[in-house]
Amino acid sequence: MLRAIYPGSFDPVTNGHLDIIKRASRIADELIIGVLKNKTKSSLFSMEERVTMLEQVVAGYGNVSVMSFEGLLAGFARRLDAGVVIRGLRAAGDFTYECRMSQANSALYPGLETLFLPAAPEYSHISSSMVKEIASYGGDTGLFVPQTVALQLKQKFAGRDLVS
Ligand code: ADP
């Protein structure tokens, strides 16, 4: 029984994340999306909003669930008795950092493995920060995120340009 965690900020979830979720859900018996409450990075969407958006878009998967967590990923994996962490790799530059994180995680929780899934070419350019930037200028993010997320991005930025 393979229980895997797919951790990230998901601020917000994109089509690239969804592709990884779809592929990982075929590999793992159970996939838990771990939404990180980040101490240092401030997020556009609240934890509740990020979790709700994810729950909406993974509703069709019987073996995927969404949880929030704070602190070390190794601790979260230990508490859930998960043996595998899933990470997506978009570009070669991601690898050095991800490799170090994976080594630290398995030092903290021996036996914890990281499985890297290469981004599909059609999604490899998509990142949460890119869609936030597009939305901040009033652009349509519908090509990069699920419709429900595109709508929430639009609402988040509506009227913001009137402020500053
Ligand atoms: P983090 O802040 O931990 O990088 P993200 O929410 O940005 O969190 O990403 C979570 C995971 O999803 C990471 O492993 C990241 O590499 C991966 N990822 C992000 N965007 C894509 C994409 N377009 N295609 C494939 N994987 C992606």
Q: Is 43 considered catalytic here?
A: no
Q: Give the per-residue pLDDT at 87.
A: 98
Q: Is 156 considered catalytic here?
A: no
Ligand 1 site-directed mutation target among 11, 13, 17, 116, most atoms within 8 Å of CB: 17
Ligand 1 centre distance from Cα of residue 57 (Å) = 16
Ligand 1 centre distance from Cα of residue 37 (Å) = 15
| Catalytically annotated residue among 3, 22, 37, 90 | 90
Q: Which residue has the higher pLDDT, 132 or 164?
A: 132
Question: Tokens for 139?
Answer: 């652009």
Q: Give the per-residue pLDDT at 30.
A: 98
Q: Is 41 considered catalytic here?
A: yes
pLDDT 10s digits, 71-116: 999 999 999 999 999 999 998 888 999 999 999 999 999 999 999 9
Mean pLDDT (the chain, rounded): 95
Q: Is 37 considered catalytic here?
A: no
Give the number of other Cβ atoms within 10 Å of residue 39's Cβ: 8
Residue with tokens 């602190």: 71
Confidence of residue 39 (pLDDT cuts 50, 70, 90): confident
Residue 5 region, left (φ>0) first, then alpha (ψ -120 to 50), else beta? beta
Confidence of residue 161 (pLDDT cuts 50, 70, 90): low
pTM for this one? Answer: 0.94
Phi, psi of 58, rounded to the nearest 5 degrees: -105, 10
Confidence of residue 163 (pLDDT cuts 50, 70, 90): very low
Q: Report yes or no: 141 and 150 within 8 Å, Cβ to Cβ.
A: yes
